[in-house]
C-alpha cells in the first residue's frame, strides 16, 4: 500500500480502515471479475445474467459504493471529499471499467437527490439507495451520433456565447399532457447502457434550437419505445459495457424532468465538475496500479545479470511514474475537496469548472503515461495477455477518449480560463 503523505489522512484510523476495506474489494472482487470480463470475446457476455459484472455491482451496492454521490439528506453515504477520493482511487485501482459502471450508476439518482422534488424521490431515489441486488442500474446519456464533444462544450458556461454554432441536439423532449415525450438517439458510447434500467438523460427542449436550451431528466429504460443497443466491441475498458439507446415516443412524468431552464443552461456544467473529479480519481487509481505492476515486475525480472530495477534507465522510469501517480493523487484530491464543498456542503453549485476539467485531464493523462512506461518496462511480456499491464494500458488509452476526449475537455477548460482567470 502506498505511503500517504498527508498526515491528516495518514493518522486518521477511520480513513485507513476505509482504504483497506475498499482495497480488499478492489483486489478480491473487482480485479478477478475485470480480468474475466476483459477476456470475453463476445461483449454481450459481459452483461449476461450470470456475468461477474452483476456480482461486482451487487457487492458494490452492499458496501454502499453506489451512494457516494447521493445527497446525504436522501440516503447518500455522507462521505467527505477525502473519503470519496479514497474510495474512488481504490475502485480505479481495481478496474476503471467497473468503477465507471459504479459511477454512472449514480448519476440519475444523485442528480435527482440534489435537485428533484416530488414522487421521484420516493419512487426512484429511495429504492435505488436501498438496493443491494443491483435491481436498479443507471447510465448517463449524453453523447449523440451527430454531437459527441458538442455536449462537453455546451456544458461549459464560458462557451455559451458560441453554443449556437454547435449541433442543436438529436434527443428531444416535448411537453405531453402532464409529462414529457422523448425522441431521438444517444450514441454507442453510453457506459452501462446495455445493462441499465434507467438513464440520466440530456435532452433539448422546444424550439430545439440549441444544446443550451436543454434539460436533464431520468428515464426508466424498461418501457415501450426504448431500444437499447448491444454492447460494442472495443479496445479498452471492455469490462465497461457501452451501447446506444434510441427513444421513440417515450413518456416520463413531469417530476422526472430534474434540471430544466433556466438552470440547465448555466449550471449543467456542475455535473461535469463532479464526474470530472470522479474520472480524474479513478484514473489515478489506474496509474497507481500500472506503477505498482511495473515496480514489482522490475524487482523480479532479471536481465543483464541483475533485476531490472537495478538498471539506472529503469530506475529513472520508475521515479517518473511515481511522481506522476503522487501528483495526480494530490491534485485530484484537492479539486475533489473544492467541488465537494460547492456541491454537497454549501450547495451553491459554483465549483470551478476549469479546475474540475483539469483534474479529469490530469488523471487520465497520468494514467496513460504511467501505463505506457510500465508496459515498456515489461518489454515483450507487456504485450501479452499474460500480464495485467496489457489490460491497464488498453484501459488507459481508452480513457483519453471516454467521457470527453482530453483535447475537448481542455478546450472547454480553456474557454473558462480565458474568461474567468
- Return residues touching another protein (CB under 8 A): 114-118, 157, 254-255, 257-260, 262-263, 265-267, 346-350
Q: How far is the CB of 160 from another protein (least distance, A)?
A: 8
Which residue lies nearer to another protein by CB, 21 or 341?
341
Which residue lies nearer to another protein by CB, 324 or 342?
342
Q: How far is the CB of 115 from another protein (least distance, A)?
A: 4
CA–CA separation, 167 and 380 (whole Å): 45
Whether the Cβ atoms of residue 146 and residue 167 lie closer than 8 Å to each other: yes
Burial of 305-343, coded b for 16+ CB within 10 Å and e otherwise, reads eeebbeeeebeebbeebeebbbebbebbbebbbbbbebb
Q: How far is the CB of 117 from another protein (least distance, A)?
A: 4
Which residue lies nearer to another protein by CB, 71 or 131?
71
Which residue lies nearer to another protein by CB, 94 or 269?
269
Query: To which residue does cell 497520468 refer?
Result: 366
Q: Within 75-158, where are the H helices?
A: 81-94, 96-104, 107-115, 119-120, 126-130, 149-154
Dihedral sign, Cα of residue 142, residue 256, residue 344, residue 7: negative
Q: Which residues contact 38 (CB under 8 A, 6 or more apart)?
A: 97, 238, 239, 391
Whether the Cβ atoms of residue 95 and residue 34 lie closer than 8 Å to each other: yes
Whether the Cβ atoms of residue 392 and residue 296 lie closer than 8 Å to each other: no
Q: How far is the CB of 265 from another protein (least distance, A)?
A: 7
Residue 372 CB coordination number (10 Å):
15
Q: How far is the CB of 262 from another protein (least distance, A)?
A: 4
CA–CA separation, 389 and 82 (whole Å): 28
Q: How far is the CB of 43 from another protein (least distance, A)?
A: 37
- Pair type for strands 242-253 and 179-191: antiparallel
For 245, phi then psi, to 5°, come to -135, 135
Which residue lies nearer to another protein by CB, 61 or 354?
354
Which residue lies nearer to another protein by CB, 118 or 206?
118
Q: How far is the CB of 71 from another protein (least distance, A)?
A: 10
Q: How far is the CB of 267 from another protein (least distance, A)?
A: 6
Which residue lies nearer to another protein by CB, 23 or 126?
126
CA–CA separation, 282 and 270 (whole Å): 19
Whether the Cβ atoms of residue 168 and residue 204 lie closer than 8 Å to each other: yes
Which residue lies nearer to another protein by CB, 58 or 251?
251
Which residue lies nearer to another protein by CB, 258 or 389?
258
What are 375's three cell numbers?
508496459
Q: How far is the CB of 276 from another protein (least distance, A)?
A: 19
Amino acid at each position: 500500500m502506498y505511503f500517504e503523505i498527508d498526515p491528516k489522512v495518514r493518522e486518521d484510523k477511520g480513513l485507513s480502515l476505509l482504504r483497506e476495506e475498499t482495497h480488499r474489494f478492489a483486489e478480491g472482487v473487482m480485479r478477478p471479475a475485470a480480468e474475466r470480463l476483459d477476456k470475453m470475446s463476445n461483449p454481450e457476455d459481459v452483461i449476461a445474467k450470470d456475468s461477474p459484472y452483476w456480482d461486482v455491482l451487487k457487492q458494490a451496492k452492499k458496501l454502499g459504493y453506489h451512494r457516494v454521490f447521493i445527497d446525504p439528506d436522501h440516503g447518500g453515504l455522507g462521505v467527505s471529499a477525502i473519503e470519496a477520493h479514497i474510495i474512488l482511487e481504490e475502485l480505479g485501482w481495481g478496474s476503471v471499467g467497473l468503477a465507471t459502471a459504479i459511477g454512472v450508476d449514480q448519476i440519475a439518482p444523485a442528480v435527482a437527490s440534489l435537485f428533484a422534488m416530488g414522487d421521484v424521490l420516493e419512487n426512484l431515489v429511495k429504492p435505488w439507495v436501498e438496493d443491494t441486488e443491483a435491481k436498479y442500474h443507471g447510465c448517463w446519456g449524453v453523447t449523440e451520433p451527430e454531437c459527441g464533444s458538442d455536449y462537453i462544450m455546451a456544458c461549459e458556461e464560458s462557451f455559451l456565447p458560441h453554443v449556437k454554432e454547435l449541433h442543436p441536439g438529436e434527443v428531444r423532449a416535448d411537453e405531453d399532457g402532464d409529462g414529457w415525450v422523448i425522441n431521438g438517439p444517444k450514441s454507442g458510447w453510453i457506459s452501462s447502457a446495455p445493462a441499465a434500467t434507467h438513464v440520466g438523460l440530456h435532452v433539448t427542449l422546444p424550439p430545439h434550437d440549441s444544446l443550451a436550451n436543454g434539460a436533464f431528466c431520468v428515464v426508466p429504460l424498461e418501457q415501450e419505445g426504448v431500444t437499447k443497443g448491444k454492447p460494442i466491441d472495443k479496445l479498452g475498458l471492455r469490462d465497461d459495457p457501452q451501447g446506444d439507446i434510441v427513444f421513440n415516443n417515450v413518456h416520463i412524468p413531469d417530476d422526472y424532468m430534474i434540471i430544466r431552464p433556466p438552470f440547465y443552461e448555466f449550471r449543467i456544467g456542475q455535473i461535469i465538475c463532479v464526474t470530472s473529479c470522479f474520472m480524474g480519481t479513478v484514473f489515478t487509481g489506474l496509474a497507481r496500479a500500472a506503477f505498482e505492476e511495473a515496480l514489482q515486475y522490475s524487482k523480479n525480472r532479471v536481465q543483464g545479470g541483475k533485476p531490472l530495477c537495478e538498471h539506472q534507465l529503469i530506475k529513472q522510469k520508475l521515479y517518473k511514474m511515481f511522481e506522476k501517480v503522487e501528483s495526480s493523487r494530490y491534485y485530484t484530491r484537492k479539486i475533489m475537496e473544492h467541488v465537494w464543498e460547492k456541491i454537497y456542503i454549501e450547495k451553491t453549485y459554483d465549483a470551478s469548472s476549469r479546475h474540475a476539467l483539469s483534474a479529469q485531464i490530469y488523471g487520465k493523462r497520468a494514467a496513460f503515461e504511467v501505463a505506457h512506461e510500465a508496459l515498456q518496462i515489461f518489454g515483450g511480456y507487456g504485450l501479452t495477455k499474460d500480464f495485467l499491464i496489457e489490460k491497464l494500458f488498453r484501459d488507459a488509452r481508452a480513457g483519453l477518449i471516454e467521457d470527453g476526449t482530453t483535447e475537448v475537455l481542455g478546450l472547454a477548460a480553456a474557454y473558462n480560463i480565458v474568461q474567468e482567470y
